[in-house]
Structure 1
């Protein structure tokens, strides 16, 4: 007698992720997802605000020199003249931005893992409202991955993405945060309800309601748990803490800097002595040769309404010199403690070429460097007029080293590091 073929058991685990029974983890559920969502709600809001501040600090309205996103249009509505007080402003805002962004990576990955069944739910659209919600979710997930990946690559000085980092990250941030804000508004009531539930009880999957809401991410037939939801949160929190501890030290010098294992370590080792602080771009990497920075060859060209003057380093040292204690802070998130800089005030150089130092205008700064961004950079009038803004010749009581910008560099309070131009060759005060 022939035997009938055995039919597959209805209880067998489905092979396709489009089936809710494909997902077996007992950790997924509204409460777990909501806790992660609340953390991201606060963290990503801070990231967005500090990111916009970082963009404003580059003075992108100084076109066409500093403008890296010429088609920003209404997205630049908030831009303002970047202040010089407090002098540690950019050090704080960008340090928070980079450190927090890296710290949130485990939370973001856990959040995406917790809701991944929803990405495979069928049918893809049950109504127009549901289709719009799925589209916003696509923008949210894609935007989050894009912003975090490009941000980490930029911090590590790995520019493998096409185009300039500035417009890519700027436009991506607006798309991502718009989707994030819409998602937060739609999900906030449910998140509050979920957080009030008993936290360790199994959470059965709920069918979608009449409004077409997504079903719960909880598995309808969960596997045996090997860790509690609280334990999973401790694991995510531990990963974030580890990233924080190996990143936060980049905002300091000395031993704390050596704990920042994930911080960029490009350039050269700073060594010890007066020049013993972080170097991001070396003279050699920017094509600077000793012959063109020597006392014989180098001259600073300063241009204004009264004409042009050319000054040697010795002539600059004969001008009235001033000192200021200022840090250097970079877009990659690292910063130094205050260094003592000595040089000629930018306002005094503006006065040399016909400007009233009390009304000194914007200035275009040009460097000897032959490669890299911001070989030409502009500073706003409020930055030029600040008495702490210097064309620095010395640091910590000694002449600048080649890698710190010898024979002269710009130092401006609260400005991003790339605007503190090294190896300065020309200053043009007035119309850019």
Structure 2
């Protein structure tokens, strides 16, 4: 057999690397004119990599959100430390920043997988049906959580439901749907991660198709910009560049105000010369005028005021240590302490402080803020300040303090 008698090798073709995990036209229930324009960057490689970062952001947001809810509405088993004093500032700041960072990542993720939503068959096996159902629940719940959470940072509530409980309940739905989705898609993710995401650039064309690398860089940049744009409300160094931070230290005495004395309807009572703070310890009770409170030994503490919307500001407080004030009435033998406000209505006109915070040296009945007498909107004549607590539980315009039996 001579050289010319040998069979010529059969040429093989391999699609460009950028198309290896992109859906083929025949796989989609879409018109050909549409599928021809689908960017190769809309691939499992991009979706998997963006999805990993998105999953991390959602996990941080979910865990810190649970902490915030449990601090405000503690179940019997929950314990939250009084130190370090900046702990709630960190967790709640991370909650809001991770939620905002997740927004551009979710948009890129949806962009990358959108054509696959029309892949054949639409229903198929029970596993595929589970996958489709988890995607629908995941996308719907995530959009709901991120949008309502973003509105909450600006204290804007254009809906009828109570945000706190609804947001808390939906967090389980969103995280559960994410877990199911990851379990179903794990083989696809592992296969996609085994290939380089940007080993080959997408071929240029008239439509200017973005490369996978370009999409990943753009997604990362958008996530960083979004995070920085909101992080300044809890990170002082970023305050000047956080253009989307709704709270950044503006307000009387350098602190923002969520609820004013006028809104609470306490302006006259707080200024009343007959004001008294009642302190109850067991069967003993005593009433203090503001002058008597000011005459007691005063203590100073640097405690940040941190709110559920994500903003926090360091502040210098001075007043009476709570444990010293209780001792001036009777012997404190442990237990939670309830604080009641002059405000008669509202969701947070009272709060309960656990024993670990009651005995902490940074917990004050504050009379002064940043070297000045408390502003009326910050709780004059006196307010509670305790470390690692959200602002809604730092009861203002105190009328009574009672040790629970």
TM range (shorter): 0.7 to 0.9
> Who is 2:214 aligned against?
231
* Aligned residue in 2 for 1:312: 289
Q: Deviations over 1:230-280 (max 9, x none)?
A: 112222222222222221111145x743432212249x9426xxx223333
Pair 226,137 (structure 1): closer, same or farther in 2 beyond 3 Å: closer
| Change over 3 Å in CA distance of 1:350–1:163 after alignment to 2 | farther
For 1:312-391, what aligned pairs fall within 5 Å after superposition? 312-337=289-314, 339-356=315-332, 359-369=333-343, 372-391=346-365
Separation of aligned partners in 1, 2:56 and 2:238: 27
Give the equivalent residue in structure 1 for 2:84: 86
Q: Aligned equivalents of 1:224 and 1:303: distance in 2?
A: 74
How far 1:424 moved relative to its partner?
A: 1.2
Q: 5+ unaligned residues in a row in structure 2: which ranges?
A: 1-24
**3-state SS of the aligned residue for 2:214?**
helix
Report the counterpart of residue 19 of structure 1 in structure 2.
30
CA distance in 2 between partners of 1:168 and 1:122 (Å): 36
Between 168-177 and 422-431, report the one with greater CA deviation: 422-431
1:83 counterpart SS class: coil
Asked if the contact 1:363/1:381 (under 8 Å) is kept, the reply is yes
Segment drifting more, 194-203 vs 296-305: 194-203
2:276 to 299, 316, 319: 299
| Candidates 139, 145, 150, aligned match of 1:152 | 150
How far apart in 1 are the matches of 2:361 and 2:197?
A: 58
Over the residues paired in the alignment, what is the CA RMSD in angstroms? Answer: 2.6
User: Do 1:59 and 1:380's aligned partners in 2 also have CA atoms closer than 8 Å?
Assistant: no
In 1, Cα distance between equivalents of 2:156 and 2:303? 28
State how far apart, in whole Å, the 2-side matches of 1:259 and 1:279 are.
21
CA deviation after TM superposition for structure 1 residue 95, in Å: 0.7
CA contact (8 A) 2:131 2:184 kept: no
CA contact (8 A) 2:44 2:113 kept: no
Q: How do residues 22-421 of structure 1 correspond to structure 2 at under 5 angstroms?
A: 22-23=34-35, 24-26=37-39, 27-61=41-75, 79-121=77-119, 123-200=121-198, 224-253=207-236, 256-265=238-247, 269-270=250-251, 275-289=253-267, 291-294=268-271, 296-337=273-314, 339-356=315-332, 359-369=333-343, 372-421=346-395
CA shift for structure 1 position 350: 2.8
Greater share of residues in helix: 2
Q: 1:32 & 1:61 partners in 2: Cα distance? A: 41
In structure 1, C-alpha distance between the alignment counterparts of 2:78 and 2:133, rounded to whole Å = 33
Question: For the structure 1 residues 249 and 378, does the alpha-carbon distance in structure 2 shift closer, same or farther, using more than 3 Å as the test?
Answer: same
| Aligned counterparts of 2:275 and 2:91: Cα–Cα separation in 1 | 36
